[in-house]
Amino acid sequence: MKKKSKANFVNPFIFLLFCIALFLGFKINEKQNWIQIPAIGTWLPYENWFQFYDHEVSASIEYHHLVDDMYTNGTNSCASLFDGIVLKTDEESVTVLHDNGVLGVYAQLEDVVVKGDERVLKGQSLGAFKDSLKLEFKKDDQKLSYEEVVKL
């Protein structure tokens, strides 16, 4: 005999409480920095199981120092230095939290081609710049130079 199945979902009240607890925990952790979250690329399902993206092609990303925090790479395309996630964007800058824990700000761009919360891979274009762009890096609240970052 075929019987019609009835859906039996998780108790919505418990699920709501769980979400609130999760949100509060997340916000407190952001302030207190208690838990260091593992790099996204190591746990995100399906991303690297078949090694779809080619690191060798994008291994040649290189910026040349001009003056202060200003850099150029011989093209007009601003490429992400490592895999990461876009934290925020505005009209002329992109902030990326890289998988190695480095927070990178790619600023003074003419055009931004990524959106917030999107995953970016090493070498992927974040936007375009005219003559030079501003690069700023931070890790554990310590400012790092481009030269220090590429050695990580």
Q: Is 30 helix (H, G, I), strand (E, B) or coil?
A: helix
Question: Under rule CB under 8 A, which residues in 122-151 are in contact with another protein?
Answer: 124-125
Phi, psi of 70, rounded to the nearest 5 degrees: -90, 135
Q: How many CB atoms lie within 10 A of CB 82?
A: 22
Q: Does 3 bind another protein (CB under 8 A)?
A: yes
| Interface mask toward another protein for 55-84; x: CB under 8 A | ------------------------------
Distance CA 113, CA 99 (A): 20
Which position among 16, 17, 24, 26 is part of the footprint of another protein (CB under 8 A)? 26
Q: Could you give the maximum distance between any two Cα atoms of the chain, in Å?
A: 78
CB 40 within 8 A of CB 119: yes
Q: Does 13 bind another protein (CB under 8 A)?
A: no
Q: What residue ranges bind another protein (CB under 8 A)?
A: 2-3, 5-10, 22-23, 25-26, 29, 35, 37-40, 42-50, 52-53, 85, 87, 97, 113-115, 117-121, 124-125
